[in-house]
Amino acid sequence: MKTASMNKSYRTDFCRVFLVDELPEPLTRASAHLQIFDNYIPNTRLRIRRVRSPENKEWTVTLQQRFPVTADEPGIWKAADIFLNEAEYAQLKIFEGEEIRKNRYFHEFDGRTVEFDLYLGELWGLCMARIEFASAEEMNSFEPKSFMKFEVTGNEFFFGGSLVDKTMRDVEAAVAALGDATEPDVISRLED
């Protein structure tokens, strides 16, 4: 297998991820959003992502592969998407297992779109903000907004595949284990 040709099938994503207390104004839970259902295929880097738009009731289904480039470069990922039709999804449904459900909201701050994920089910109360960038330089120079309480970009615990079997209690323990690196009241806000 030629590595050079394989690399052409992946895009490079540059992103940073932050824990946030809640949706910042002017967003509310009733704001326009997408419903995301992520099923991680065990022992792989693959997930089946189903996205539903509540406004028009349309579904998009993809088979995705995402992985960090290296542990030394948090925030730089290789990613590939294959869009599935109904027949293809029907064949792959057998791989569905533990699922993460979340609502994704979008808002622009200072000319940059921020994606906010509010987790549902066992992870109710977890809210993360994700920002994509055009380059590593742009990503590294970004100054977090005041509502971005703690950066978890390179923290594997907060990767989707790791969260799939976690509860909010696990999240609270992970934040507590970070110790002095967090604000003292982040844990109590996550418990609300």
Q: Which residue has the higher pLDDT, 124 or 71?
A: 124
Task: Name 129's bridge partners.
Answer: 18, 116
What pLDDT was estimated at residue 124? 95
Tens-digit pLDDT profile for residues 102-139 = 999 999 998 899 999 999 999 999 999 999 999 999 99
Q: What residue ranges define each of the domains in the chain, with the CATH number in brackets?
A: 10-191 (2.40.320.10)
Segment 46-58 shows an average pLDDT of 95
What pLDDT was estimated at residue 70? 85
Q: Are 52 and 29 in contact (CB under 8 A)?
A: no
| Window from 88-97, 143-152, 162-171, 182-191 with minimum mean pLDDT | 182-191
Q: What is the pTM of this model?
A: 0.86
